[in-house]
Structure 1
Amino acid sequence: MLRETRLPRNSKEGILFLLIISIISVNTIAPIIVGLERGFSREVYIDTLKIIPFMWIIVVLSVRLIAGPVVGKLMPKFIGQTDGFNARVLLNTLLNVTVLSILLSIIGTWVGTKQISLEPLKNFLHIWPRNFAIAFWIELLVAQPIARFVMKTLHAKQDRKTESVDA
């Protein structure tokens, strides 16, 4: 049976996969969203860099504690046994980005403004679709492909090492 080389096979690889995706996502999505809110300038970008470490921690915790379990329960309801890898990855990405963009459209505003207010809830229908679209396309076209490439490269290296030991 052919093992999937593009996804993590154990918890260490899972952590690496999550780190790659989360670091790419936070370092691209946050500056774009903040730039759209406040304008694209050097000062805005530097301000964004100051909140990225906090957002990265929030993203990782949100993935592990909220999005992961929710998506894990939803996936079997939508995916069939005959659905292929690409369909599964697309649905998984769609569900994860939906959950995370809902949470982070609110929490990200609180972190960025350094205050908890009702503002992100009042503006939710305005900001969430934009944030979702930005996050979805970055995940689909940048973060996920890079993380899967790293997994595939890692597994090819492991397989070569195993083959040389077996020979």
Structure 2
Amino acid sequence: MHKENRLPQSPKEGILFMVIISVISVNIIAPTIMMLGQGFNIENYLETLRIIPFMWVIIVLLITLVAEPIVGKVMPKFLGETDGFNAHILLNTFLTVTVISVCMSIIGPWVGMREISIEPFQSFFPNWFKNFGVAIWVELLIAQPIARFVMCKLHIKQKNKKETTYF
């Protein structure tokens, strides 16, 4: 799948891909989850905007240091060489969202409340199911398709640029 037009093909493109997905995800998932718990009003939304930069950094670190290594080890156990692009993307997204939502169901409240407490552990399962549900749909229907679309357009542009430089 390395040469798949919808995926990054260099480290620089990988960073762009992760930035697109993480910025979209954090800006939709964090406010939605917070407002589901505390109510939909402008004060809650503005409070969410204040913590989004911290959440974004945490998410990028968790993806890079925790989710990618775990998902990289688990994926080959479930997928074969003949499985297609959609199977790879769906399983990768499902596993990544699972790992990140588990972590953020604990870390997110700590960041939001600005204190480390036992509360996220006490309400873990109801919160995790809600967080996972919101995150998986945002990833599958919004963030991932937009990032893959950008990659595809970028690769088409690069290909056209190469073709025009030869003539």
- The TM-score by the shorter chain falls in which range? over 0.9
CA displacement at 1:166 relative to structure 2: 2.7
Residue 28 of structure 1: aligned partner:
28
- What count of residue pairs does the alignment treat as equivalent? 166
CA displacement at 1:54 relative to structure 2: 0.2
Name the amino acid aligned to 1:48.
T
Residue 129 of structure 2: aligned partner:
129
Matched ranges for 1:56-95 at <5 A: 56-95=56-95
| SS of match in other structure, 2:80 | coil
- TM-score, normalised relative to structure 1: 0.98
Matched ranges for 1:104-123 at <5 A: 104-123=104-123
Residue 14 of structure 1: aligned partner:
14
CA displacement at 1:26 relative to structure 2: 0.3
Name the amino acid aligned to 1:24.
I
Instruction: Tell me the alpha carbon deviations over residues 90-121 of structure 1, each in whole angstroms, 9 at most, x when there is no partner.
Output: 00000000000000010001000111001000
Residue 153 of structure 1: aligned partner:
153
CA RMSD of aligned residues (A): 1.0
Residue 38 of structure 1: aligned partner:
38
Q: Distance in 1 between matches of 2:94 and 2:81?
A: 19
Q: Distance in 2 between matches of 1:47 and 1:157?
A: 39
Q: Distance in 2 between matches of 1:30 and 1:76?
A: 31
CA displacement at 1:81 relative to structure 2: 0.6
CA displacement at 1:73 relative to structure 2: 0.6
- TM-score, normalised relative to structure 2: 0.98
CA displacement at 1:164 relative to structure 2: 1.4
Name the amino acid aligned to 2:162.
T
CA displacement at 1:3 relative to structure 2: 3.0
Instruction: Tell me the alpha carbon deviations over residues 53-85 of structure 1, each in whole angstroms, 9 at most, x when there is no partner.
Output: 000000000000000111011111111111000
Q: Where does the alignment leave 5 or more consecutive residues of structure 2 unmatched?
A: none
CA displacement at 1:163 relative to structure 2: 1.2
Instruction: Tell me the alpha carbon deviations over residues 106-141 of structure 1, each in whole angstroms, 9 at most, x when there is no partner.
Output: 000100011100100000011001100100000000
Q: Distance in 1 between matches of 2:33 and 2:91?
A: 23
1:101 and 2:101 correspond:
yes
Residue 163 of structure 1: aligned partner:
163
Q: Distance in 1 between matches of 2:113 and 2:87?
A: 38
Q: Where does the alignment leave 5 or more consecutive residues of structure 1 unmatched?
A: none
